[in-house]
Amino acid sequence: MKIVEQIKVALGTRSYSISIGCGIIEKDNIFHPLQSGDQAMLVTNRTIANLLKDKVLFHLRQSGIKVDQVILSDGEQYKTLNEMELIVSDLLEKKHSRDTTLIALGGGVIGDLTGFSASVYQRGVKFIQIPTTLLSQVDASIGGKTGVNHLLGKNMIGSFWQPSSVIIDINCLRTLPYSELVSGVAEVIKYAIIFDANFFYWLEEKMDDILSLNRDSMSYCIKKCCELKSKLISLDERENNLRALLNFGHTYGHAIEAHSGYGSWLHGEAISVGMVMASRTSELMGYLSSIDYKRILNLLKRTGLPTKGPKNMSAASYLPYMMRDKKVVSGEIRLVLPISIGKAGIYKSIDKNTILTAIKDSQ
């Protein structure tokens, strides 16, 4: 028997459920709201296609769903308008109408591309998330942020478009390269630093279990992150205030990704360094204690995540990317900074020399 835990993202008429369990993509009627006779398009990448596509297609077709497929290239460097056009072209060629449903099978790149395509195809169709990486299971698949990258900035073209459901099969994590698993843990640690001190202490104790894919620890970890994000999305769907806290480490991290070339650094690796830089900024400003800063640094190191930025990237070269960040208001950088483990705030009017010093200290 496959035990399924349900978490609801409460957004009125756009509410949806997150289903979490082991082996649940093989469960009858898990692909809600799809029903027998419905039309769907499965979107995945070449790597996942070889590992999971046939299993998902089998169970979709067994449920009576008429499903086509489109297989994209694998990697952050392919999160582009060109790849999105491939999805739209396939939908048109295979005569998918406004009542079709797109199904994203993959990590954050596939989820973002599929969601963005769903938001614009015939002015909006339904889509389902089946995240296969830890990063997408705890973060990217929930909340309706979709989009593609631009050469000048990450996720600069996109929309808010909520999924109809999210299906998290923990068994998918067995297909991950170890480096991708570690990358995903960066987002888990992010939640703990900004929202939940007890969760942070739990991670300090259980990190070895998580990295070895212990079933109970991983189930608790994913459920905890989904609960934290679901609550936040329900309060602030379009990132007008509280939801921006989820960008902790991302202003610095996105600069690393854009400068290095998308795909050179895994997203979680860049965010790990970004969290170190943001934490150091907070320490320099007198908010975060040195003890808490060291605990954050030590947990990231223990996980195997990088804590220093690219050697070929000067501190000054971060600033142009940071100025294009979506949190910039009236030409002023705003940063999410931890005040203590379990609590964070959004700050502006930060002296640029402080930012530069924090970057240099993390190089």
Q: Is 247 a catalytic residue?
A: yes
Query: Is 182 annotated as contributing to ligand binding?
Result: no
Query: Is 109 annotated as contributing to ligand binding?
Result: yes
Kindly name the residue from 126, 190, 224, 229 that is annotated as catalytic.
Answer: 229
Query: Is 76 annotated as contributing to ligand binding?
Result: yes
Q: Is 145 a catalytic residue?
A: yes
Query: Is 250 annotated as contributing to ligand binding?
Result: yes
Q: CB–CB of 46/84 below 8 Å?
A: no
Kindly name the residue from 53, 145, 259, 280 that is annotated as catalytic.
Answer: 145
Q: CB–CB of 183/268 below 8 Å?
A: yes
Kindly name the residue from 53, 267, 280, 334 that is annotated as catalytic.
Answer: 267
Kindly name the residue from 95, 123, 205, 353 that is annotated as catalytic.
Answer: 123
Q: Is 180 a catalytic residue?
A: no
Query: Is 12 annotated as contributing to ligand binding?
Result: no
In a 10 Å sphere around its CB, with 0-12 CB exposed, 13-18 middle and 19+ buried, how is residue 289 labelled?
A: middle
Q: Which two tokens stand for residue 53?
A: 């596509």
**Burial call 59-74: b when 16+ CB within 10 Å, e when fewer:** bbeebebebbbbbbeb
Cα-based distances in Å from 287 to 155, 244, 255, 294? 30, 19, 24, 14
Query: Is 85 annotated as contributing to ligand binding?
Result: no
Q: Is 206 a catalytic residue?
A: no
Q: CB–CB of 334/187 below 8 Å?
A: no
Task: Please state, in angstroms and rounded to a whole number, the distance separating the CA atoms of residues 261 and 310.
Answer: 12
Query: Is 80 annotated as contributing to ligand binding?
Result: no
Query: Is 300 annotated as contributing to ligand binding?
Result: no
Residues contacting 241, CB < 8 A, separation 6+: 346
Kindly name the residue from 14, 206, 223, 243 that is annotated as catalytic.
Answer: 243
Kindly name the residue from 83, 96, 224, 247 that is annotated as catalytic.
Answer: 247
Kindly name the residue from 254, 259, 280, 334 that is annotated as catalytic.
Answer: 254
Q: CB–CB of 8/15 below 8 Å?
A: yes
Pairing of strands 343-347, 335-340: antiparallel
Q: Which two tokens stand for residue 66?
A: 């008429």
Query: Is 268 annotated as contributing to ligand binding?
Result: no
Cα-based distances in Å from 271 to 38, 164, 194? 39, 28, 14
Q: Is 123 a catalytic residue?
A: yes
Task: Please state, in angstroms and rounded to a whole number, the distance separating the CA atoms of residues 122 and 134.
Answer: 31
Query: Is 112 annotated as contributing to ligand binding?
Result: yes
Pairing of strands 126-131, 165-169: parallel
Q: What is the DSSP letter of 35?
A: -
Q: Is 187 a catalytic residue?
A: yes
Query: Is 354 annotated as contributing to ligand binding?
Result: no
Query: Is 154 annotated as contributing to ligand binding?
Result: yes
Query: Is 187 annotated as contributing to ligand binding?
Result: yes
In a 10 Å sphere around its CB, with 0-12 CB exposed, 13-18 middle and 19+ buried, how is residue 305 labelled?
A: buried
Query: Is 2 annotated as contributing to ligand binding?
Result: no
Pairing of strands 126-131, 101-106: parallel
Task: Please state, in angstroms and rounded to a whole number, the distance separating the CA atoms of residues 80 and 277.
Answer: 28
Q: Is 150 a catalytic residue?
A: no
Q: Which two tokens stand for residue 134?
A: 């830890």
Q: Is 239 a catalytic residue?
A: yes
Kindly name the residue from 83, 180, 239, 283 that is annotated as catalytic.
Answer: 239
From the annotation, which residues make up the binding site for Zn(2+)?
A: 187, 250, 267
From the annotation, which residues make up the binding site?
A: 74-79, 108-112, 132-133, 145, 154, 172-175, 187, 250, 267
The residues carrying an active-site annotation are 123, 145, 187, 229, 239, 243, 247, 250, 254, 267
From the annotation, which residues make up the binding site for NAD(+)?
A: 74-79, 108-112, 132-133, 145, 154, 172-175
